[in-house]
Amino acid sequence: MADTPDATAAQGGPAGEAPLRGRIAKILNTSAVDGPGNRAVIFLQGCSFDCAYCHNPETRPAITAKPGLRPDGKEAWPRWMTSGQVLSSVGRYRAFLRGITVTGGECGEQPEFLQELLRDARAAGLPGLVDTNGSLDYEAWPGIVAAAEGFMLDLKAWDTDEHRALTGAGNASVLKNLDFLAASGALYELRTVIAPGLFDAEATVRNASEALARAGSKARYKLIRFRPQGVRAAWRSLPPPDDALMERLSALAADSGAAEVVVV
């Protein structure tokens, strides 16, 4: 996570010295679509995946010497903030919030800060959901799991080669997290973006649903239509899936053991 000498300094030294700071891409004070109820959404900067259909490419670089460019052409600067600064920033909306959702980029790229933010938010009465691509091994971070209200896990593709072609990274940790979080009851939601032609959606949905059933998980499985709006120019001509495909995949997920399936 420390990419440059400056980055190391900004995150703080050994415990007890400078306060821990996270790289924050942006904060949304209220959202009704990032978990149950109204939530503040904290976008952490940096992601080790490079998904073809990424809608937030400006949040991918861990450190930006110059502003990142959003797909709409606007500049985006990450900020260094302590968890206290993040929570006081959303504090004025406290009365309207059920909790926070920590996302990215990929929030698991800054595990110490994620853990501290979740603990502080819980202490402030704002339970935190973790929205993650699953690249961090959460079994190795019991403090994060204990502090989190739950996890929303992305599964881009079941097959490792397809996953690598789609994201530039393997999926061993994603599949491990699926089993671990589902079995421990910490998985709130599993999500797959359905982008025709980029991976075998049937195999992914079937295998993922069977994994949820094997673990006895009641987590809902959200199937998300690929939407070309907001993605990088090279991918804007990719067609979104039609209704028939989404209905077929939804039925397949239910038949394969997913307790609840949602199509958006």
Taking CB under 6 A as the rule, which mask of x and - marks residues 128-147 in contact with ligand SF4? -----x--------------
Q: Which two tokens stand for residue 172?
A: 């061993």
Residue 260 β-bridge partners: 220
Q: How far is the CB of 197 from ligand SF4 (least distance, A)?
A: 17
User: Would you say 48 and 154 are in contact if contact means Cβ atoms under 8 Å apart?
Assistant: no
Q: Which two tokens stand for residue 90?
A: 């959303």
Tell whether residue 222 is a contact of ligand SF4 (CB under 6 A): no
Pick the stretch among 54-62, 63-71, 218-226, 243-251 that binds ligand SF4 (CB under 6 A): 54-62
DSSP summary character for residue 139? G
For residue 87, the number of C-alpha atoms closer than 13 Å in the C-beta half-sphere is: 20
**Interface pick for ligand SF4 out of 25, 40, 42, 51 (rule CB under 6 A):** 51
CA distance 161 to 170: 7
Nearest to 129 by CA among 191, 210, 50: 191
Pick the stretch among 34-42, 98-106, 197-205, 219-227 that binds ligand SF4 (CB under 6 A): 98-106
CA distance 217 to 184: 8
Tell whether residue 60 is a contact of ligand SF4 (CB under 6 A): yes
CA distance 166 to 53: 9
Tell whether residue 50 is a contact of ligand SF4 (CB under 6 A): yes
**Interface pick for ligand SF4 out of 105, 108, 241, 257 (rule CB under 6 A):** 105
Specify the residue, 12 or 61, whose C-beta has the smaller distance to ligand SF4.
Answer: 61
Q: How many CB atoms lie within 10 A of CB 5?
A: 8
Tell whether residue 157 is a contact of ligand SF4 (CB under 6 A): no
Tell whether residue 106 is a contact of ligand SF4 (CB under 6 A): yes
Pick the stretch among 50-58, 76-84, 139-147, 180-188 that binds ligand SF4 (CB under 6 A): 50-58
Tell whether residue 49 is a contact of ligand SF4 (CB under 6 A): yes
Tell whether residue 47 is a contact of ligand SF4 (CB under 6 A): yes
241 Rama class: left (phi>0) / alpha (psi -120 to 50) / beta:
beta
Q: Which two tokens stand for residue 263?
A: 């199509």
Residues 6+ apart with CB under 8 A from 196: 226, 238, 239, 240, 241, 245
Size of the site for ligand SF4 (CB under 6 A): 12
**Interface pick for ligand SF4 out of 104, 108, 150, 241 (rule CB under 6 A):** 104
Specify the residue, 49 or 113, whose C-beta has the smaller distance to ligand SF4.
Answer: 49
Pick the stretch among 47-55, 81-89, 145-153, 236-244 that binds ligand SF4 (CB under 6 A): 47-55
CA distance 182 to 166: 24
Applying CB under 6 A, the residues found at the interface with ligand SF4 are 47, 49-51, 54, 56, 59-60, 104-106, 133
